[in-house]
Amino acid sequence: MNASTARLRGVLAPVLTPFSADGTPSAARYVRHCRLLLNQGVSLAAFGTNSEANSLSVREKRMLLDALVEAGLPTARMMPGTGACAIPDTVELTRHALAYGCAGVLMLPPFYYKGVSDEGLFRSFASVIDTVADPRLRIYLYHIPQVAQVGISAALIERLLRAYPGIVAGIKDSSGDWQNTEVLLDAFQPDGFDVFAGSETFLLRTLQRGGAGCITATANVNAKAIAQLAREWHADDAPAQQRALDTTRAALQRFPMIAAMKAAIAWQSGDDGWAAVRPPLVELDAAQRRDLESALTNIGFRIDGAATLAEHAEEVVHPGR
């Protein structure tokens, strides 16, 4: 397959990973969820933080990407996360994504060792790029210093762009610091380096400043509304749309986000299997689930298409979509 020449923009979801009763990834649930997201106007950043990606093996990630391709989902709308602490793992996952023609890959820096220098990080990214050695490669850097404890500086970005123009294509800024996002937008977006906010909280401001969009956890459960703002950010009611998105996110953020989104899907789909997380994460307890359901009910929130996500839902394949 050939990689798409079109750059991803708008909204991407770091796709939640559903698990079966034996603790393995549930490919059938995963495909249904990804198809629903695509149909609601959201692209797929599989194997991100909210995917529990660093609790998944390389083999499991390959299997899930295989399942999406076998189901006929469009790889031109996929940006799988491939960054790992071990360079050979990053290379393997990146090559697998490229072989399927994915539009790009989202790449964490190696994050186990703390206090590493920009020189060390540059060598890590350079090693991956030089080993993969494929002109189709498009890397989107993943900056999430509050979790990884290893950040990506503007100076590092500048050096990577000089060394690998066109290949280093953009960044997901999940720092939660709007001032940092502004710096990236001003310094790099005008030259075609795409800046994605790491939350829909910053979506309207990012688009107004010329950014590419957002890669956001809550696109897993609020895809239609977030994608609508990405399309209609010039509209008079765009600020009101942004406030509505913020209200929904605030209700979910009262709880551990991954467990909360999975509990919301379990509740509204009627498939309690969706609530499972992989250790070391822990699912919401009964009291937390009641509180979450009450909070979402109070703001009138429903997950569009939730019934199609249940384990018993019929799987309909749409090749080439």
Place of tokens 């979506």: 203
Tokens standing for residue 112: 């186990």
d(CA 106, CA 214): 13
Exposure letters 62-94 (e unless 16+ CB within 10 A, then b): bebbebbbebebbbbbbbbbbbbeeeebbbbbb
Q: Which of 31, 84, 79 is nearest to 59 (CA)?
A: 84
d(CA 38, CA 13): 10
Tokens standing for residue 295: 């909070």
Query: Would residue 262 show up in a list of annotated catalytic residues for this protein?
Result: no
Contact 13, 37 (CB under 8 A): yes
Q: Which residue among 30, 61, 140, 172 is the active-site one?
A: 172
Q: Which residue among 61, 140, 142, 262 is the active-site one?
A: 142
139 annotated ligand binder: no
Query: Would residue 142 show up in a list of annotated catalytic residues for this protein?
Result: yes
Report helix, strand and coil shares of the chain as percent, to nearest 5. 50, 10, 40
Between strands 105-107 and 194-197, the pairing is unpaired
Known catalytic residues?
142, 172
Where is the binding site, in residues? 215
Where is the binding site for pyruvate, in residues? 215
